[in-house]
Amino acid sequence: MVSSLPQPSAPPEAPATLLVIDIGGTKVKLLATGQTEPRTFLSGPNLTPAAMVAKVQDLCQDWPYEALSIGYPGLVGNHGPQAEPGNLGPGWMGFDFAAAFGRPVRMLNDAALQALGSYEGGRMLFLGLGTGLGSALIADRVIVPLELGQLRYTKSLSLEHRPV
């Protein structure tokens, strides 16, 4: 007796409207599908994920969006942040962003998300100079966040924390 394998299910339909959030060490930038002017607010060492969600919801209440894409300044895994960010407040690891926003959320390292936004094929090394040093490599359709800013400059300083 021959049994057939189950047919793979169709991928879920992509949302028609998306809110993109870029969380930086000094400010948070927001832009939604169909909008032309980004909105921003200050971040910094006191910004917690709950405070970020509240501010985003306040600033974007007149923008329709079905899902969110978040660029996070640190290591990200399948379930969100894998480490607390160096320039923001605590509480990012384990925070349930989908529950807080009431919508699906995908999160990626901020440098990897920025690299993906300008990727046109082939291999690409992205360096983002902002509050920190973001970096990502794209090769063979694979995105690798590099965290080059965390490399040691001296025994006590990383590259992104060295004096200028």
Q: Side chain identity at 153, as an amino acid letter?
A: Y
What domains, with CATH codes, occur in the chain?
18-161 (3.30.420.40)
Spatial separation of the C-alpha atoms in residues 46 and 88, rounded to whole Å: 6
Asked if pLDDT for residue 132 goes beyond 80, the answer is: no
For residues 110-131, average pLDDT: 84
Q: Which two tokens stand for residue 99?
A: 């529950």
Residues 35-49 pLDDT 10s: 999 999 999 999 999
Q: What's the predicted TM-score (pTM) here?
A: 0.80
For residues 102-124, average pLDDT: 89
Of the given ranges (7-11, 73-77, 113-117), which has the lowest mean pLDDT?
Answer: 7-11
High-pLDDT (> 90) share of the chain, %: 47
Mean pLDDT of all residues belonging to the chain: 86
pLDDT confidence of 15, banded at 50, 70, 90? Answer: confident
Pick from 105, 74, 110, 78: which is nearest to 92 by CA? Answer: 74
Taking the C-alpha atoms of 87, 89, 96 and 110 in order, what is their torsion angle to the nearest 10 degrees?
Answer: -10
